[in-house]
Copies of this chain bind each other. A is one copy, B any other.
Amino acid sequence: MYLNRRDERLSKQEMGRPPKFSRDQLQAAALAIVDEQGLGALTMRSLAARLGTGPMTLYNHVADRADLDLLVVDAVLAEVTVPRRRGGWRARLEAIATELWRVMRAHPAAVPLVLTRRSRSPAVLDVAEALLDALARGGFAGRDLLVAFRSVTAFLAGFAQVELAGPLATTAGEPAGEVIARVRALPAERYPHLHDIAAAALRSDPEAEFRDGLRRFVAGLAPSGR
């Protein structure tokens, strides 16, 4: 009887206690680990330790390990602030793409996750809708819009990725000069053009490369006019 009454009290007060951590707290802690120590350092146990609790506590907030990756993706994309609508559709498209590029470069270790994990959070969907809106203003619709959207996100995702893992990418901490030196050590008669761009990469910076590539890409975009 007494126990029963106590159980009832518990079910309304102590049992219905507020969550110990908010989703924002988890996101911030998870992203901090990735930023500071790399992707490999993010584990259920490391995140729990950083929050000052045991591993099992996390299962009150995420379904499993895969959910933890989504936490990081959402944390990164939440930093995107969709720019105000002004200018033509090309300018708007460039502005959103540039903002996305900025955010990804701010969290290079998280990029593989952003490119690889599928999240349906508002943070992700809002950015997608903003890109689509810019294209729609350019006259794209239906399948035309679909293809253009896939192309733009492809370009964006790819550019971030290529800088990270392409043949000219630098490993974490490795000076760019060494990578280029390694490319130059390859047989020149077999890889003449790789030599060429390695030399160019030495004098270029990724920011400007992205801007040029993006501008050229956007300039070439046009609805099929069917």
- Which A residues fall within an 8 A CB radius of B? 112, 115-118, 120, 124-125, 128-129, 132-133, 135-136, 141-143, 145-151, 153-159, 161-167, 169, 171, 182, 186, 190-194, 196-197, 199-201, 203-204, 209, 212-213, 216-217, 219-222, 224
User: Which chain B positions have C-beta within 8 A of A162?
Assistant: 150, 153-154, 157
The complex places the Cα of A197 from the Cα of B56 at a distance, in Å, of 41
Secondary structure at the A interface, as helix, strand, loop or mixed, is helix
User: Which chain B positions have C-beta within 8 A of A135?
Assistant: 193
Instruction: Tell me how many chains of this kind the complex includes.
Output: 2
Given contacts A115-B115, A154-B162, A155-B217, 17 further A-B contacts (CB under 8 A): A112-B116, A118-B166, A118-B169, A129-B190, A129-B194, A133-B193, A136-B196, A146-B201, A147-B212, A147-B213, A150-B166, A154-B154, A155-B158, A157-B162, A158-B159, A212-B224, A220-B221
Instruction: Evaluate contact between B142 and A200: CB separation under 8 angstroms.
Output: yes
Instruction: Evaluate contact between B151 and A197: CB separation under 8 angstroms.
Output: no
Instruction: Evaluate contact between B115 and A161: CB separation under 8 angstroms.
Output: yes
CB of A156, distance to nearest CB on chain B (Å): 7
The complex places the Cα of A197 from the Cα of B145 at a distance, in Å, of 7
CB of A112, distance to nearest CB on chain B (Å): 5
